[in-house]
Amino acid sequence: MKVLVALSGGVDSSVAAAELLAAGHEVVGITMRLWGGESDTGCCSIADVDDARRVAQQLGIDHLVFNFTDDFEQHVVTPYVDAHRVGLTPNPCIECNRHIKFHRLSERADLLGFDAVATGHHATVVERDGKCWVGRGHDAAKDQSYVVHMLTGIDLARTLFPIGAMTKAQVRERAAALGLRTAAKPDSQDVCFITDHGGRAAFLGERIEFRRARVVDSEGSVVGEVPAVEMVTLGQRRGLHLPGGGPKQYVVHIDPAPTVMVGDEALLQREAMTVRDVVWVNDPPRNGAEMRVQCSAHGATTAATLTADDFGGTSCEVRWHAPQRRVAPGQSVVFYDPTDAFVLGGGIAV
């Protein structure tokens, strides 16, 4: 089988390519140039492209580099900036997976005549009732099913996750045994276009005008001020410049007008939430379906019931079996089957 594998320059994708070769596939590596600006973190630096090229040489496979910087700016960077402008907390890595790392990768695979695409994500493809689903990676600490939840059953029928059944330790051991230059390379931890020395504030500050916002308590009394409402996140406790000595205060509401409300953590508790832009891996579930819901990349799942007027639509309500802390609007919400083994779909918190 001809497989186009995404080589990011990290150890996971390096071993993914090696595993495909060992299985007898015809493998070609592709590296995507996504961020045309300065980058010293994440997965898009010039050094990463060079590492990917050298790994391809070590493995003896062809290596292609495609420039998707315009697509990345349009589908990832601009929405990231716009979301902060209106008080949302976006997840740019998920949007990158949605629009670039899988959509554009699959397009190129079709154009070049490949049978399948592969990445180094810690996830699996699960087959149930003749359909494909995103399954959890075997290493619970590294599971990335949450960040690839947008893949449909049709996508998954031609997608391979070669390291999904391996632990991270096994991946590094395999890379070391093969002598790959990425064997000891640290994992990417941050958003690729946010530099370590500048940070999120510097990046956003160059693109939007920060607005000061008064901080009020739950009764409307002014208790402080923040220099940039665009940098405040629901549930935030530190960095609010509040007087000390009192009970812990959390951001419980953000009004881009701009005002930030703080209060006791109990004010963040909710019995239900609305999720928009929902995409299902296969057919939508029945109304009132029971499932597990995950609201952060490595968070625990929680039992909930899903309801909607029309599950063929793009929004639904999550009703928790027990009250949960409110999810920051803009964050991804992913639905798993009741056994917590595979993804049913996901959307964006309202």
For 244-255, the pLDDT digits (tens) are: 778 899 999 999
* Mean pLDDT calculated for residue range 180-200: 85
Give CA separation, 283 vs 154, 169, 304, in Å.
11, 36, 19
Q: Higher confidence at residue 343 or residue 189?
A: 343
Burial of 209 per CB tally in 10 Å (0-12, 13-18, 19+): exposed
* Mean pLDDT calculated for residue range 231-246: 89
* Mean pLDDT calculated for residue range 184-194: 84
Percent of the chain with pLDDT over 90: 86
Task: Note the pLDDT of residue 36.
Answer: 66
Task: Note the pLDDT of residue 214.
Answer: 96
- Band the pLDDT of 169: cuts 50, 70, 90: very high
Task: Note the pLDDT of residue 95.
Answer: 96
* pLDDT of 45 higher than 80: no
Where in the sequence numbering do the catalytic residues fall?
Answer: 96, 192
Task: Note the pLDDT of residue 198.
Answer: 75
Task: Note the pLDDT of residue 274.
Answer: 97
Task: Note the pLDDT of residue 35.
Answer: 80
Give CA separation, 79 vs 65, 162, 163, in Å.
25, 31, 31
* Mean pLDDT calculated for residue range 46-50: 84
Average pLDDT, the chain: 93
pLDDT digits (tens, 9 = 90+) for 253-310: 999 889 999 999 999 999 999 999 999 999 999 999 999 999 999 999 999 999 987 7
Tell me which amino acid residue 261 is. M
Task: Note the pLDDT of residue 196.
Answer: 72
* pLDDT of 324 higher than 60: yes
pLDDT digits (tens, 9 = 90+) for 53-86: 999 999 999 999 999 999 999 999 999 999 999 9
Type and span of the H or E element at 11: helix 11-22
Peptide bond into 258 cis (omega under 30): yes
* Mean pLDDT calculated for residue range 139-146: 97
List of domains in the chain: 2-120+162-178 (3.40.50.620), 209-263 (2.30.30), 269-349 (2.40.30.10)
Number of C-beta neighbours around residue 12 at 10 A = 25
Q: Which residues contact 316 (CB under 8 A, 6 or more apart)?
A: 274, 275, 278, 306, 307, 308, 347
pLDDT digits (tens, 9 = 90+) for 89-98: 999 999 999 9
Q: How far apart are CA 319 and CA 273, in angstroms?
A: 7
At residue 45, the 3 state secondary structure works out as coil
Task: Note the pLDDT of residue 194.
Answer: 87
pLDDT digits (tens, 9 = 90+) for 193-218: 887 777 899 999 999 999 999 999 99
Task: Note the pLDDT of residue 39.
Answer: 54
